């Protein structure tokens, strides 16, 4: 059942490409898959051409043998007739080969952009307050009812608390990012951002810490399960979407939707130290989700359950900063940061053409009205 309109209640964008009140927007390029697809097609095409060449050689050999046999026949009239048939067959063969070549050319794949295809990921960027060049980075993945600009308060708090650069990637269908929100694209984007930092900018994985809150705990857990980072911090995480639906709407409804964002399956694959913070007053995602994730984690994991913390309201200092700093200190996170002279270039601040085109933003309220035909 398609419940994306309920799972992704994205608000109206609180920022634009021209105006971002609380920080800068950078556009991190994605790794393009088209080169691989073209390469695969060319290999397949070369293989097809070689097969036809082989077939032509075999056919020519057979024709030669038939011709020698025909020359030994006594009946000249029949020999002449056979030669005429041979010439006719040869003409048909040439015609067929020509048709085959045309067919191959017509089958050349056409790589056209889809309606919302983008080559960049818009990310909210806050520079470290410690120095002009800082080698430490925090990746922050926000919740499902906000965009990166609405998450500014906690992002800025992380920047000042840890004296790090903070990059918060946007999700498709949120903010200025065209498209529909979906698990596959969100997960793929985490790898694009990580690879850009580590491969293009040369940032050491030991200098990267990942934060995720609510829905954002899933892309952050996915990234930490696939790549090496210094630490993973989860705020109000979930076991999976289906588990949340089961808690709120019951077992029957939960099995009517496709499960996704399965943190419970991914967290055993995380190799770095993990900190889980979850309020006991959280009525949206029950804190037993975090206790279960804690039990499933195989790497060093700490669980903090503030008594008065709920899903959206909590004390940044007492319920977040204090356990965070204690966790980082105990695990030696950022203790041996490696210097990096590469800066985020001004090119990343230039708005790509695909973000200059108007698009219809994915919006939960609009979709909800359409679902129930409310004007």
Is pLDDT of 60 > 60? Answer: no
pLDDT of residue 206: 93
Domain coverage including residue 342: 14-30+118-355
302, 225: one domain: yes
Read off the pTM. Answer: 0.75
Give the domain-ending residue among 106, 131, 163: 106
Domain membership flag for residue 371: no
Long-range contacts of 245-252 (CB under 8 A, 24+ apart): 247/285, 247/286, 248/284
Going by pLDDT thresholds of 50, 70 and 90, the confidence category of residue 108 is: very low
∠ CA 307-308-314 to the nearest 5 degrees?
A: 120
Assigned domain for 364 exists? no
Asked if the model's pLDDT at residue 82 lies above 70, the reply is: no
The H or E element containing residue 6 is helix 4-7
Q: Could you read off the pLDDT of 228-271 as tens digits, one per residue?
A: 999 999 999 999 999 999 999 899 888 888 899 999 999 999 99
Domain end point (choices 46, 72, 106): 106
Residue 129 sits in the same domain as residue 47: no
pLDDT in tens, 324-372: 999 999 999 876 666 666 677 788 999 998 888 766 665 554 554 444 4
Q: Which tokens sit at 236?
A: 């109000």
CB-count burial class (<10 Å; 0-12, 13-18, 19+) for 127? middle
Q: Is residue 7 part of a domain?
A: no
Tens of pLDDT, residue by residue over 10-43, are: 778 889 888 887 889 999 999 876 544 445 445 5
Helices 34-71, 76-106: axis angle to 10 degrees equals: 180
Same domain assignment for residues 74 and 192: no
**How many domains would you assign to the chain?**
2
The answer to whether residues 51 and 70 belong to one domain is yes
In a domain, 3, yes or no: no
The answer to whether 25 touches 17, Cβ cutoff 8 Å, is: yes
Tokens of 345: 């270039």
Helix ranges (H only) for 138-271 are 152-162, 183-195, 217-226, 241-249, 251-254, 263-266
């Amino acid at each position: 059942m398609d419940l994306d309109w309920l799972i992704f209640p994205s608000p109206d964008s609180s920022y634009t490409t021209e105006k971002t009140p609380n920080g800068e927007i950078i556009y991190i390029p994605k790794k393009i898959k088209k080169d691989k697809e073209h390469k695969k097609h060319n290999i397949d095409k070369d293989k097809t051409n070689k097969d036809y060449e082989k077939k032509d050689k075999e056919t020519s050999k057979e024709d030669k043998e038939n011709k020698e046999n025909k020359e030994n026949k006594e009946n000249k009239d029949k020999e002449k007739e056979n030669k005429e048939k041979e010439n006719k067959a040869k003409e048909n063969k040439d015609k067929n080969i020509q048709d085959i070549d045309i067919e191959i050319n017509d089958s050349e794949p056409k790589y056209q952009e889809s309606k919302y295809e983008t080559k960049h990921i818009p990310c909210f960027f806050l520079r470290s307050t410690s120095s002009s060049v800082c080698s430490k980075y925090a990746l922050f993945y926000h919740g499902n009812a906000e965009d990166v600009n609405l998450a500014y308060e906690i992002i800025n708090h992380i920047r000042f608390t840890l004296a790090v650069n903070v990059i918060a990637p946007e999700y498709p269908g949120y903010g200025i990012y065209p498209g529909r929100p979906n698990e596959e694209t969100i997960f793929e984007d985490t790898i694009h951002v990580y690879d850009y930092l580590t491969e293009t900018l040369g940032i050491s994985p030991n200098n990267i810490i990942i934060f995720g809150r609510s829905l954002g705990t899933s892309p952050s857990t996915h990234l930490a399960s696939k790549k090496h980072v210094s630490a993973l911090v989860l705020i109000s995480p979930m076991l999976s979407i289906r588990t949340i639906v089961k808690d709120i709407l019951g077992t029957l409804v939960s099995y009517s939707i496709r499960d996704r964002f399965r943190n419970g399956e991914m967290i055993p694959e995380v190799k770095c130290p993990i900190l889980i913070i979850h309020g006991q007053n959280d009525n949206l995602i029950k804190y037993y989700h975090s206790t279960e994730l804690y039990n499933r984690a195989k790497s060093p994991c700490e669980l903090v359950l503030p008594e008065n913390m709920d899903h959206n309201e909590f004390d940044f200092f007492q319920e977040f900063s204090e356990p965070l700093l204690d966790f980082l200190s105990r695990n030696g996170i950022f203790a041996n940061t490696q210097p990096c002279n590469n800066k985020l270039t001004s090119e990343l601040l230039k708005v790509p053409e695909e973000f200059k085109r108007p698009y219809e933003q994915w919006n939960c309220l609009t979709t909800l009205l359409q679902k129930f035909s409310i004007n």
